[in-house]
Amino acid sequence: MIMQLQSQWFLRWVLPACASFVLCGLLFISLSWAAARSDEVAVLRQRDLVTLTVAKLKAGIAHDQESATVWDDAVRNARAANIEWIDANLGSWMHSYFGHDTALVLTSDLVPLYQFSADVDFAPTTGDLRGAYLPLAETLRTRLTAGDTEGTGDKILSIGETDLSYVGFRPAIVSVKPIVSDTGDVEQAAGSEMLHVAVRFLDGDLPTVIGKEYEFSELQFSAKRPRDRNLAFVPLKGRDGEIFGYFEWKPFRPGHHVLEATTPALILAFVALFAGSSLAGGAIWRRTERLAASRAELSHQASHDALTGLANRARFNEELNRQLREASDDERHTVLFVDLDRFKAVNDTFGHPVGDKLISLAAARMRDLIPEALIARIGGDEFTILLQGDDALVAEELADTLVHGLKAPFEIETAHVVIGASVGVAFTRGPCDPAELTRKADIALYHAKAAGRNTYAIFGDHMDELLRKRRALENDLRSAVETCSQIETFYQPVFSASNGKLCSLEALARWNHPTLGYISPDQFIPLAEEMGLIREIGSLVLEDACRTLAELPEITVAVNASARELEAPGYALRVLATLARSNLRPDRLEIEMTESATTDNDSELGRTISTLRAAGVRFAIDDFGTGYSSFSRVQRVEIDRIKIDKSFVDEMHRSDSRALVVAMIDMARAKGLKITAEGVETAEQREALERLGCDDLQGFLLSRPLPREAAIAYVSGATLGSVKPTLRPT
């Protein structure tokens, strides 16, 4: 009987299924192979067409130039520096008729006589253009002097030089042609010809024009090799063979379309073969099993965190509500709120994969420390724990266990990660409002953080009042920022270590509260970052710093910028616009950023730094040495200066701290960076830093931060070692 059942299962289910898979699979594999080969041929032809189009484009730009550069009138008017004629015939006409983006006319000495740009608002700078055309112009002048006519004929009337180049940050085709006589009546000495430069950008509307003309879908220029396998690309090479960039587009794949069209037929054939030989009861059974498994999986996902496997917020709240609702009068419950300290710094430094692994390891460690408790992950690095019965009676001991247990290092791949945890604890006896209990635990967590983190706090009635004061302080800070009042800018002088002269100022934000007086930056700056107001405060300081610079002689000023400011897409434009309004050179501004802000130099932050440094703005890493991987990070980020943190200066009397300062200075020297030491408060520190080779010094020994008016009055005569007045609380 058992053998019959097995045979029936094989004949009615296994064999039909295998036959259907084999037949349809072979057909599908054949069609897939044919489609793939067809797509390969189509993509290859499209690549050849793009390569040919680029070559024709380079030749076409040079040919366009000859329509105006091989002309007696062009020679005469160029010699006479007739700018109006040049603009009409060699500049704007070349754009309107041929679509050239930029045109220049160079004298025989390769000095620009005339420059035209189609996009006036974003015209390339003279320096960027010179870097692109100068090598070609010099080569062409050498050929002209030697009387070289290679390549000329009936279609090509004059020699020229054409290549791919970058004009600033923009890729372009650059072509240089001599301005020569078409009749031979205007004589010019070999090598004395004036030159015409034409520029056609590859990242503007050109790819769109080419794409429409040759039916390339989404054709665009890319500086990096495309990684998307669904895109086709062609490398663009300069004359030296070096890859300049890539044209990428979404290729037409005829085989793929054919396969998509035939796939439904294959599916129908498989279904027909399988359904004709399968039992309806077996199909229903399998479907029932799949549905049951899916329901179980969905139920688990709905109540658990995918990363850690812990309960999620909904599951925790459901269980908390149930237990408190059913609790007896003497039954005790405790809720712990756990927040991982320094997790953001780890996430920023090592990346999200390491951060996710850290969250998983921390969750596993908490499960080991409190195996019987309900632990839930309610946010990025936030957890809640519900204790009852005997565990609730020793909640304080368990909180201490968590704090000490999460101090232990985590080994993640090659990284040695040390964090900590802040824990808030709230008790209840008998039935209780779940929202009130969790609110108290959250308040206790805030107090644990305020106490310096890496500790625990138990809720007390006094905490409500402290939280109320914090909320009031938040409202006052928001009002101060919105009204642009109370936020003041102080300036701390920075002095040259070699000659004692004042060389720059550091702009510092100060909050002059109307009733509380000056509030420490260590208190309101972190508060502003949590509230999302740090960008507005940074803008106020930047505006004041630029106005102050406009009233001072040739001196520089440094402003601090948070990671949120630097990652904002419009930050670079805002900085340059502020400098322009005050008619200031960008090199008079230095932006200081923390080490954690420099983690990803390929992000928007990296583009912001590159844009501002290209304009002349300088960058420095503030509080150097206090973050993760300081030395390796300097190898990646573009900066001009490091500022040694005050904590290292304070400990220079110790040999190990002094060795760290020496290593920082040596590293900066090797990289060609300037060095500023912060927090110089004793003559011994100043003398030691001078001997070690620091460029600049700042600290209370030299000068305290000064209000704007006092700083302006002080700049002209400050020297190293002068006595500085304390004008206001700082």
Q: Match 């908490």 to its residue by tokens.
A: 366
CA distance 624 to 663: 12
Report the 10 Å Cβ neighbour count for 194.
24
Residue 335 or 328, more confident: 335
Of the options 3.30.365.10, 3.30.1490.20, 3.40.50.10860, 3.20.20.450, the CATH number for the domain spanning 481-717: 3.20.20.450
The correct CATH number of 46-147+156-250 out of 3.40.190.150, 3.30.450.20, 3.40.50.720, 3.20.20.80 is 3.30.450.20
525-567 pLDDT, tens digit each: 878 887 888 889 999 999 999 999 999 878 999 999 988 888 8
DSSP assignment letter at 452: T
Pairing of strands 420-429, 415-417: unpaired
Q: What is the Cα–Cα distance from 50 to 291, expressed in whole angstroms?
A: 51
Tell me if 279 sits within 8 A of 13, measured CB to CB. yes
* pLDDT band at residue 573 under the 50/70/90 scheme: very high
Q: Which of 56, 63, 100, 93 is nearest to 198 (CA)?
A: 100
What pLDDT, on a 0 to 100 scale, did the predictor assign at position 12? Answer: 64
Q: What's the mean pLDDT in 625-640?
A: 63
User: What integer pLDDT is reported at residue 286 of this predicted model?
Assistant: 54
DSSP per position, 562-594: -HHHHHSTTHHHHHHHHHHHTT--GGGEEEEE-
Q: Can you give the pLDDT at residue 197?
A: 94
SS3 551: coil
- CA dihedral in degrees (658, 663, 665, 669; nearest 10)? 160
The DSSP bridge partners found for residue 593 are 621
| Calculated CA dihedral for residues 534, 536, 537, 543, nearest 10 degrees | 140
Written as one letter, the residue type at 162 is: T
Q: Determine the pLDDT at residue 510.
A: 92
Q: Tell me which DSSP letter residue 432 carries.
A: -
Query: What's phi and psi for 408, nearest 5 deg?
Result: -60, 140
The DSSP letter of residue 498 is: T
pLDDT digits (tens, 9 = 90+) for 469-518: 777 888 888 988 888 888 999 999 999 998 888 999 999 999 999 888 89
CA–CA separation, 286 and 348 (whole Å): 47
pLDDT given at position 722: 43
CA-atom Rg of the chain in angstroms? 36
Lowest mean pLDDT among 53-62, 85-94, 254-263, 301-310: 254-263
| Alpha-carbon span 558 to 678, nearest angstrom | 13
Confidence band, pLDDT 50/70/90 cuts, at residue 292 = low
| Summary mean pLDDT of the chain | 83
Q: What angle do CA 706, 709, 714 make, to 5 degrees?
A: 65
Going from the C-alpha of 499 to that of each of 503, 696, 711, 718, the distances in angstroms are 10, 10, 20, 12
* In the chain, where the domains are located: 46-147+156-250, 303-460, 481-717
Give the pairing of strands 232-237 and 217-222: unpaired
CA angle at 656 for the pair 655 and 662, rounded to the nearest 5°: 85
DSSP string, 604-652: HHHHHHHHHHHHT-EEEEEEETSSSSHHHHHTTS--SEEEE-HHHHHTT
User: And the tokens for 648?
Assistant: 């290292």
* Arithmetic mean of pLDDT, 574-588: 93
- Kind plus residue range of the DSSP H or E element containing 261: helix 254-276
Percent pLDDT > 90 in the chain is 24
Residue with tokens 């042609």, as numbered in its chain: 177
- Asked whether 266 and 27 are in contact (CB, 8 A), the reply is yes
Please check whether the domain covering 303-460 is classified as CATH 3.30.2320.80.
no
Q: What is the rounded CA–CA span in Å between residue 671 and residue 664?
A: 11
Q: Cα(607)–Cα(637) distance, rounded to whole angstroms? A: 11
Residue that is written with structure tokens 């724990």 in the block: 385
Residues 474 and 468: their CA atoms lie apart, in Å, by 10
pLDDT in tens, 427-460: 887 787 888 888 888 888 888 887 778 888 888 7
Residue 282: pLDDT above 70? no
Beta bridge partners of 166: 171
Per residue in 19-32, pLDDT (tens digit) is 777 777 777 787 77
User: Does 9 have pLDDT greater than 70?
Assistant: no
Instruction: Taking residues 364-376, report their average pLDDT.
Output: 90
